[in-house]
Amino acid sequence: MSKPTVAIVGRPNVGKSTIFNRVVGERLAIVEDMPGVTRDRLYGPGEWLNYTFNVIDTGGIELGDEPLRVQMRAQAQIAMDEADVILFIVDGKDGLTHADEEVAQILYRSEKPVVLGVNKIDNFKQRENLYEFYSLGLGDPIGISGSHGIGIGDLLDSVVSHFEQEEKDEYDETTIKFSLIGRPNVGKSSLVNAILGEERVIVSDIAGTTRDAIDTPFTRDNQEYVIIDTAGIRKRGKVYEKTEKYSVLRAQKAIEGSDVVLVIINGEEGIIEQDKKIAGYAHEAGRAIVIVVNKWDAVKKDTKTMDQFKRKIREQFQYLSYAPIVFLSAKTKQKLVNLLPTIQMVAENHAMRVQTSLLNDVINDATAITPPPSDKGKRLKIYYATQVSVKPPAFVLFVNDPELMHFSYQRYLENKIRDTFGFIGTPIRLMVRRKN
């Protein structure tokens, strides 16, 4: 169902993050303009030939002050757990080291394909350094230079050759795929259980599956849903599962496969920094979002409490102004009935296509009320608008000169579109293109 995942492993300083940035760099640059974005990425989208996939830089997942050997062992384990193809990077300048051999020992035990990249082969002469890496027993080493961009194509050719034939998405277009994200103990597993009730399907490890997706399908009121595996739901008790970075990684994976993401907040504890970070990923990914305040049963309330909490959420998550907020209790099931209808509503908005003529009426009315900005006597002209995609809805405005568009005017148009068509729960994208 989901895209294949490639995990990069290797000793510190061999060039993992350099290679990660090469593979996902361009796409991230676009995302970084957006508010609420975190820069310390270890998970991102890659593209090569006709393949799209996700890349993990396991080097970014650190286990406090543990010694190098323990760190490397955990990183190799994460790669084996999370990836379809493992990209093992070694350093062609340093030559083969004992630590490389240890990592190779761990990777042998995996049934996942391993591609061996020898980095820092910056020129032809250094290709001699490749040969000793044959002794790792992981097949032909591929010489690359991450910083010079040499050999990356060959490396990716080898990586994608291991992808299984593109599996068809096994779910109907109308099935709503959603995930629950949030830090540990906010009540994600409890909420999954509460939603599923007696229809609960045992969520277990399916041994031997290459894509480690654990999806739970169910039907309610004639609507089909799938709950996508989520950070914190599948607790297996490995050391790295307690780290924040790992929970972020799992959240990113779950978001990737979802139409709708439930951002779960612990009503008892309020909002902390990590909540914002996790929600930021869902926003960046363009998913529909519902903010769920759980454990509402445990909160001492008067008539103002809910409004106060709402205001706090709006302050703290300014970029999520479109997301509806649901207060509930997984434990007592109080207000739980509101949840699935809300998920259904935001999913519909996320997939909504608007009529081009109506869209252009909205833009024309908006520009009549507040004329577009001008600079040095030249005024922005909007010729026409069209919706180019859904999930999330994306619009292109064809204009005389994109430079003349101001952030605030774009925001104004976005709001007009929202006011007219609703789009509750979904981000929308507005792009400006020159038309000659």
Binding residues: 10-17, 57-61, 119-122, 182-189, 229-233, 294-297
| Closest CB 227 distance from ligand GDP, rounded Å | 12
Among 118, 127, 145, smallest CA distance to 22 is for 145
Residues 277-296 that bind ligand GDP (CB under 6 A): 294-295
| Closest CB 101 distance from ligand GDP, rounded Å | 17
Peptide linkage before 392 cis (omega within 30 of 0): yes
| Closest CB 425 distance from ligand GDP, rounded Å | 22
Residues 221-240 that bind ligand GDP (CB under 6 A): 232-233
134 φ, ψ to 5°?
Answer: -60, -30
Contact between 147 and ligand GDP per CB under 6 A: yes
| Closest CB 288 distance from ligand GDP, rounded Å | 21
Among 45, 35, 97, 47, smallest CA distance to 72 is for 97
Residues 4-43 that bind ligand GDP (CB under 6 A): 10, 12-18
Which CB atom, from 31 or from 336, has the smaller least distance to ligand GDP? 336
- Beta-bridge partner residues of 433: 398
| Distance of alpha carbon 354 from the chain centroid | 26
Residues 52-71 that bind ligand GDP (CB under 6 A): 59
Residue type, 64: G
Which CB atom, from 278 or from 330, has the smaller least distance to ligand GDP? 330
Rounded Cα distance between 79 and 99, Å, is: 16
Secondary element (H or E) of residue 431:
strand 429-434
Per CB under 6 A, the segment of 43-51, 142-150, 152-160, 419-427 that binds ligand GDP is 142-150
Which CB atom, from 57 or from 256, has the smaller least distance to ligand GDP? 57
- Cβ atoms of 382 and 397 within 8 Å: the answer is yes
Binding string, 163-192, against ligand GDP, x = CB under 6 A?
-------------------x-xxxxxxx--
Contact between 126 and ligand GDP per CB under 6 A: no
The annotated binding site for GTP is made up of 10-17, 57-61, 119-122, 182-189, 229-233, 294-297
Which CB atom, from 64 or from 208, has the smaller least distance to ligand GDP? 64
Sequence-separated contacts (24+) of 26-31 with Cβ below 8 Å: 31/284
Question: Considering only residues 47, 94, 297, 401, which one is a binding residue for ligand GDP as defined by CB under 6 A?
Answer: 297
Per CB under 6 A, the segment of 115-123, 352-360, 388-396, 427-435 that binds ligand GDP is 115-123
| Closest CB 21 distance from ligand GDP, rounded Å | 8
Per CB under 6 A, the segment of 124-132, 143-151, 357-365, 400-408 that binds ligand GDP is 143-151
| Closest CB 92 distance from ligand GDP, rounded Å | 8
Rounded Cα distance between 250 and 245, Å, is: 9
Residues 310-369 that bind ligand GDP (CB under 6 A): 329-331
- Name the DSSP letter for residue 399: E
Which DSSP string corresponds to 256-275? HT-SEEEEEEETTT---HHH
- Cβ atoms of 270 and 297 within 8 Å: the answer is no
Which CB atom, from 42 or from 159, has the smaller least distance to ligand GDP? 42
Which DSSP string corresponds to 120-149? ---SGGGGGGGGGGGGGSSS--EE-BTTTT
Strand ordering across the sheet containing 429-434? 382-389, 394-399, 429-434
SS (HEC) of 157-168: HHHHHCCCCCCC
| Distance of alpha carbon 123 from the chain centroid | 36
| Closest CB 20 distance from ligand GDP, rounded Å | 7
Contact between 146 and ligand GDP per CB under 6 A: yes
Beta-carbon contacts of 297 under 8 Å, excluding residues fewer than 6 positions away, are: 329, 331, 332, 334
Instruction: Kindly list the residues in this chain that would bind ligand GDP in the complex (CB under 6 A).
Output: 10, 12-18, 59, 119-120, 122, 145-148, 182, 184-190, 232-233, 294-295, 297-298, 329-331
